Amino acid sequence: MSTDFAVELEVRDVGAGSAVIVLPGAFGIESRFDDVDDFYPGCRVITVTHPGFGKLKRPEWCESVEDLAYIYMDFIERLGLQRVTLVGFSFGGWIAAEIALRRPTWLDRLILVDNFGLRGGDREDRSTPDLFAMTLAEWREIAFFDAGVGEKFFGSAGRSDEEMLSIARAQEGLAVYGWQPYLHDPKLERRIGRIKVPTLVLWGGEDRIASPDLGRRIASAIPDACLAIIEGAGHFPHLDRPAEFREQIDKLGITTP
């Protein structure tokens, strides 16, 4: 029986200083934008591409958010990192929450940004719209507060085949891990209060994919959490409102030992 979690990962590792691990969202190319690294000055920023979202083949056994959590915990332990700030956007935030629940000793701080993992509403509410039933244009429309920003980051016009392929792969990855239960784990809401590290919950005030109400619920469930709602931002507050996003991160003083 193999118990090996040493999965080859696509990683972008830049800068030096305190360790920041970024688990990106579920849409393929947002983790590759250069300015994503600029949010954490004076840090070593390691951004991963989730197995199944990039060019490397997803291991057959890796088919749940929990599997991803174990892969990343193993990865961080092998790097020998200590005092890690873990940042999870959207789908990546769901993985980050699962990691934090397992209380790894190296985890110092958690930042959750418009994350999946919980759902709102009753059984007949589709609290997150059916992303698998949308065209890319429809998705852009609800994902961004500012249509121009959506067009800049996810417009298909002028997009290279490689970038489009990256989006297509990410959509498949999202289906692998989030098809059913749809983009959430029914157990997570009960468990999330067991996260003990200091947590910043950052949310786009106009997020139409994951409602700010979810952010409020998460922040109130985690004992050592604070909530920052960024107005005039959708599902990607760091893209819609980069200055405001950076201001929130700066307040944390991550670079201070």
Partner 1 sequence: MKYWYFSECAYPYLPPEEEYDSIRVTLPNGYMDPVKAADLWHRYIDEWQAAEGYGLGLMINEHHSTATCANPSAPIIAGILARATTTARILILGNPIANRPDPVRVAEEMALIDVISRGRLECGFVRGVPYEISATNTYPIDMSARFWEAHDLILKAWTTHDGPFSWTGKFFEHRQVNIWPRPYQQPRPPVWVTTTTPSGSAKIAEHGHTLATFLVGKNMARTIFGNYRTRRKEMGLETSVDKLAYCGLVFVADSEEAARKGSQELMWYATANKVKAPFQVPSGYMPPEARLRMLAGDARDPNALKAFSQDELIDQAIMFSGTPDQVYNQIKTFYDYVGGFGNLLIMGQAGFLGHKQTVRSMQLFSESVAPRLDILHPGIPQRLSA
Name the residues that contact partner 1, by CB under 8 A: 63, 130, 132-137, 156, 159, 161, 164-165, 167-169, 171-172, 174-176, 179-180
Please return the burial class of 184, using the count of CB atoms within 10 Å of its CB with bins 0-12, 13-18 and 19+: buried
State in angstroms the smallest separation of the CB of 198 from partner 1. Answer: 36
- Of the pair 111, 170, the CB lying nearest partner 1 is at 170
- Of the pair 169, 184, the CB lying nearest partner 1 is at 169
Please report, for residues 40, 71, 116, 189, 256, the alpha-carbon distance to residue 253 in angstroms, rounded to integers and kept in the order given.
9, 28, 26, 29, 6
What would the two tokens of residue 193 be? 């209060």
State in angstroms the smallest separation of the CB of 58 from partner 1. Answer: 10
Query: CA-CA distance, 234 to 139, in Å (whole number)?
Result: 12
Q: Match 């397992």 to its residue by tokens.
A: 102
State in angstroms the smallest separation of the CB of 137 from partner 1. Answer: 7
- Of the pair 3, 135, the CB lying nearest partner 1 is at 135
State in angstroms the smallest separation of the CB of 6 from partner 1. Answer: 23
State in angstroms the smallest separation of the CB of 165 from partner 1. Answer: 6
State in angstroms the smallest separation of the CB of 160 from partner 1. Answer: 11
User: Which parts of the chain are beta strand (E)?
Assistant: 10-14, 18-23, 43-49, 84-89, 107-113, 199-204, 225-230
Query: CA-CA distance, 144 to 124, in Å (whole number)?
Result: 25
- Of the pair 16, 179, the CB lying nearest partner 1 is at 179
70 phi, psi to nearest 5 deg: -65, -40
> 200: which strand partners?
111, 226
- Of the pair 14, 168, the CB lying nearest partner 1 is at 168
- Of the pair 170, 222, the CB lying nearest partner 1 is at 170
The one-character DSSP state at 53 is T
State in angstroms the smallest separation of the CB of 5 from partner 1. Answer: 20
The one-character DSSP state at 133 is G
- Of the pair 30, 206, the CB lying nearest partner 1 is at 30
Tell me if 74 sits within 8 A of 5, measured CB to CB.
yes
